[in-house]
Every structure is written in structure tokens, then in C-alpha cells.
Structure 1
Amino acid sequence: MEDVISAEFIYRLKSLLQRAYHLQEEFEGVLGMSGSGSQAEKMAEMLSNEDLEDSYLRDSISVADSTDSFVSAAELTEHRELRSVLGHHPFYEEALQSAEEGNITCRVLRTEMLDCLGDVDFLAKLHCVRQACELILCERTTRMFLAETGKKILSSIIVKAHKSPKRFEEVFDELISFLENTDHWENTEGELATRGVRHLNFYDIVLDFILMDSFEDLENPPISIQNVINNRWLNSSFKETAVASSCWSVLKQKRQHMKVHDGFIAHFYSVCEQISPVLAWGFLGPKSSLHDFCCFFKDQVRHFLKDIFDLDKVRYSSVETLAEDILRLMHRRSELLLAFVGADSLQNLDSCNNNELQLLPSNMLEARVQS
């Protein structure tokens, strides 16, 4: 009995420290980057409210310290015994068993980045997140909320760069219309499979394949671009033009290798042609409001990902509770981003009030669970 109490105490101490560090990172991002005191206060209040709202979540084991990408079977057994003491997560437990049997795969392991206990823990949570994302996107109003919010945030980045977002919004709308047509899904699945994306859901396509890969590419730009950026003899305007030209050149080469010239990837590249040069300059260019917002955008995406892979932040008791919590966190992070640029909150989006967190009618939920 003393061993169990000791293990629980050690876990809770680690969890408390980790959440303190996490909260510190968020406040540093909010208060350190925002140029407006009123905006900083608004976002700080949102973060404070976020912790208060978390009180309804079930008390459970969180992501603990881990420097290894692999957890041994013995260690996992210990963690499972600890979970049985701290709280029950049947949805996660079922996925964990499947992961231990090697039945869950992914394109990229993001174990360390998301502070997971190990690869098996990451894969188990990923399996749950995938199902929750599928449930979330079953509702058209939720899909349109995500599309409109994404367009608004990315348009704000373009405006920060003192450019018109009109063309970006046009090609973005064309991409969304393309995805809404179910006739295109089979070809889209084939296109993405050639790039290692074998699960069509919000996490695998948007969060992992598009956003996280883009952030990693921008953290490690080509040497030629680094040399231009670091050349103090070149003026800022020339550097920005060079970065944009490099982005367009890469996209042009990628287009030449497309097998489907009017499919998902083609539409995606059209969007990239408008937003990639702006993002690249925002991340790689000099300190500015654009740079601050790009960094804040990346931080919010990563914090969101860590949250949905954290048993303390979301409920892994069922696919419905996990989907509800993920959607709630999407709202919070979106509000923070829009508050940062001084945009109105999501109140003007028809699908974004809390009354719409019911994702599907109860009869459809029951049918989906049984299928």
C-alpha cells in the first residue's frame, strides 16, 4: 500500500511541475509577444479561465517526464497499474492494448514533442484522437467553423505582412469546396497515401502533414536561404523577395511531379503559393509584428496538440467526451489567436457558440459507436 501511495505522490508532484512549466510557457508567449497591453490582458484572462474550466475534467494521470522515445513493457505495466489507481480511461486503455500489439501506425512519431510516456503511449492516444476527429468532422457546421477560423487566422497573417488576402481567400475557398465533394475523396486518399498519409482525418492531414511539417521545414530552411537572411549587406526588401522566390520555386518543382493536376495536392499548392512566402518571411525575417504573430501561431498549435494528448486536459473515457473536449480546446486556441491580432472573437461565426458543442444527434452517435 505504501508503494502505491508513494507512486501516486511522485506522479502528482511531476504532473504539478509539468503543468506549472506549461502555464509559464503560455504566459510568456502571450505577454512577451503582444504589443498591446489590452490584448495581453485579454489573452491572460482567457488562459486563466481555461484553467478554471478544466475543473470539470476527470482527474487522471498526465504526461510525465520522458527522455526516451520508447517505454519498455515493464514500465508500461507500471504506468497502467498507476492509472488504475488514479482514474479509469476505458477508451484509452483499449487503444493502449491495440498499440502494444502493433496494430496502430503513423507517418511520424511525435512522442517527445507531445511529452508522451513513450511511442506506445503516443500511438494509443493518436488512435483515440483520430476517432474523435472523425466524429468532430461528421457535423458540417463544425467543418465550416474550422474552415472559416483557419481562413480568418491565415488571412490575418497576410494582412500583418501588409498584403491583400483576397487571392488567398479565393483559393482557400476552392480547396474547401473541393474537399466537401465526396466524389473526390477516393483520389484524395490515393494522393495522400503516396506521401505517407494513410489516415484521412484532421490530425493526420491538417495538424501533422500540413502544419507540423511546415513548422519543421521553417525551423530548418535551406542553406541558400539562411545565407540570404544572415547577409547584413542586403536590405530587408531584397531578403523578403528572395524568400518568396525560393518558396515559389520549390512549389513549381513539386507541381511538375504531380500525377493528378486538379486534385487535392494541386489545390493545396495553390493555397501554399499565397501563404507560404508570408509565413516563411514571418518566421525567418526580422523582429516585427508579423514575426511575433507567426511564432505565437506556431506556439498555439503546439500547445493545442500537447493538450489533446494530455490525460489531464481531455477526457479519454469515450470517443464522445474526447471529441467534445478537443472541440472545446479548438475554440479556446482560436480565440487566443484572434485576440492577438485584435480581431473579434469567434462570436460572428454562426457555428462557434458553446451551444453547438453537441457534435451529433444522439441517435447518430449511438449508430456510430455500434458500427
Structure 2
Amino acid sequence: MEALTSSDSTSLNYLTHAGRMVLSGLSKLNQQDVRQFQQAYDILVNFINEPANRERLELEMALVGINHINFTDVFYEFVLLSLLEGKTSLPTSRPGTFFYLLMEVIMRIRPPGGAWTESAGNFYLLIKDQMKAWLDSIFNLDESIYESPQRLSWQVMVNLEMQVDFLLSSLD
């Protein structure tokens, strides 16, 4: 599947690993079973990475108004700002679909009843702040960087890595 930010396999691997680590931390802070989260996360990632699922994924995302499959729209806007905050709910889904697998992941991050622990709530706010800082950093780059897609892609990933490193260090 095309990358959430690029088709570079190194970037994809980084995004996958970083997402796993950050969301595992959130799951742990919410006193959830991290192994169950990681299993659900890995199943979801495998589904996303399977080319045969691309069309189904695009159709499901279109149902919730996401017409471009990319990191910012899917993770930041849909998962982080909508699902985890309870502002939207997923359409009814059946086993093996993207939404079903995504709900399996979400259920292993949020505690039953949705009452987050204080530390998980604080970390969630930190995740949102770091994602916003990352987006701001993209729009505040030197104009010359925008002239080269390779330089822009590299700088976007460098800035994302800084935000993720900060998040992971705050879990220690």
C-alpha cells in the first residue's frame, strides 16, 4: 500500500514502529494489556499493508469523509482527533474490515467506559500537542525546501522523528 506519507519503505517502517511504541505507551498508561494492543495493532498494520485491501480501505475511509489515505488525514484527523476523543463513531463493521480492526486497536487503548487515567489523559494531550507542532513545523520550513520533493520528504520525517523521540522519552 502507498505510504501514509510516502512510498519510502524506511519511512513506512518508521511510522509503523513509532505508532506502535507511542500507542503502546498510551495503552499501558490506561492500564490496558499492552500485548493485546500490540497484537491488534500488528493485525491492523498487516491489513493496511496488503495491496489486495487497498480498494476496501479507500471505500471504508470514504464513508467517514476521508478521501485521501495519508498519515495526517487518517491518524491525526480521524483517529487522534475524532475516534480517541469520542467525537465520532465508526460505521457498523464486520470482522476482517479496516474499521473492525481499527476498533480492536482503539478498544485496547481506551479503558472500558472510556474513563482515561490521569497519566494517559496527560500523555494523550502531549501526543496531540506534538502532532500539532509537527504540522506547524511543515508549514514553517524555509521556502527553498519546498522546491525539492526529496528534501521536503526528508525534512518532514526529521521533524516527525523529533516529535516522536520527545513522546517516547516522556514515557520513561
TM-score above 0.5: yes
1:164 is aligned, of 18, 30, 33, to 33
Distance 1:294 1:203, change over 3 A: closer
- The 1-side partners of 2:69 and 2:161 are apart by 22
Deviation at residue 196 of structure 1 after TM alignment = 1.2
- 1:266 counterpart residue number: 100
Pair 1:310-2:140 in alignment? yes
- What CA distance in whole angstroms lies between the structure 1 residues aligned with 2:79 and 2:106? 10
CA contact (8 A) 2:32 2:108 kept: no
8 Å CA contact retained: 1:314, 1:326? no
Deviations 1:164-184 (A, max 9, x none): 201110010000011111001
Is the 1:153–1:338 Cα contact (8 Å) retained in structure 2? yes
Structure 1 residue ranges without an equivalent (≥5):
1-132, 221-249, 343-371
Residue type at the aligned position of 2:24? S
**Is the partner of 1:199 in helix, strand or coil?**
coil
**1:181 is aligned to 2:11:** no
Q: Please, which of 8, 16, 21 is the counterpart of residue 152 of structure 1?
A: 21
| Aligned ranges 1:51-130 → 2 under 5 Å | none
Deviations 1:85-111 (A, max 9, x none): xxxxxxxxxxxxxxxxxxxxxxxxxxx
Question: Judging changes above 3 Å, is the alpha-carbon distance between structure 1 residues 315 and 339 closer, same or farther for their aligned structure 2 residues?
Answer: same
Distance in 2, matches of 1:163 and 1:206, equals 21
Match of 1:298 among 128, 133, 158: 128
Identity %: 24
Task: Specify the alignment match of 1:336 in structure 2.
Answer: 166
Question: What's the CA shift for 1:134?
Answer: 5.2
The alpha carbon displacement at 1:312 in A equals 4.5
TM-score (norm 1): 0.41
d(CA) in 1 for partners of 2:130, 2:33? 24
After alignment, is 314-323 or 188-197 more displaced? 314-323
**Higher RCO structure, 1 or 2 (CA under 8 Å, sep 6+):** 2
Distance in 2 between the 1:274 and 1:314 partners? 43
| Aligned-CA RMSD value | 2.7
Counterpart of 1:352 in structure 2 is none
CA distance in 2, matches of 1:135, 1:270: 20
Per the alignment, do residues 148 and 313 of structure 1 end up closer, same or farther by CA in structure 2, a change over 3 Å counting?
farther
Q: What's the offset of the Cα at 1:137? A: 3.1
Is the radius of gyration larger for structure 1 or structure 2?
1
Q: Matched residues in 2 for 1:314 and 1:277: separation?
A: 46
Residue 162 of structure 1 aligns to a residue whose secondary structure is: coil
CA apart distance, 1:323: 0.8
SS in 1 for 2:108: helix
How far residue 142 of structure 1 moved from its aligned partner, in angstroms, is 2.0
In the alignment, structure 2 segments of 5+ residues that lack a partner are: none
**How many angstroms apart in 2 are the aligned matches of 1:197 and 1:136?**
15
Equivalent-residue separation in structure 2 for 1:136 and 1:192 (angstroms)? 16
CA distance in 2: counterparts of 1:138 and 1:186, whole angstroms: 17
CA distance in 2 between counterparts of 1:155 and 1:313 reads: 36
TM-score normalised according to structure 2 size: 0.84
Deviation at 1:310, TM superposition (A): 2.4
The one-letter code sitting in structure 2 at the alignment partner of 1:302 is K
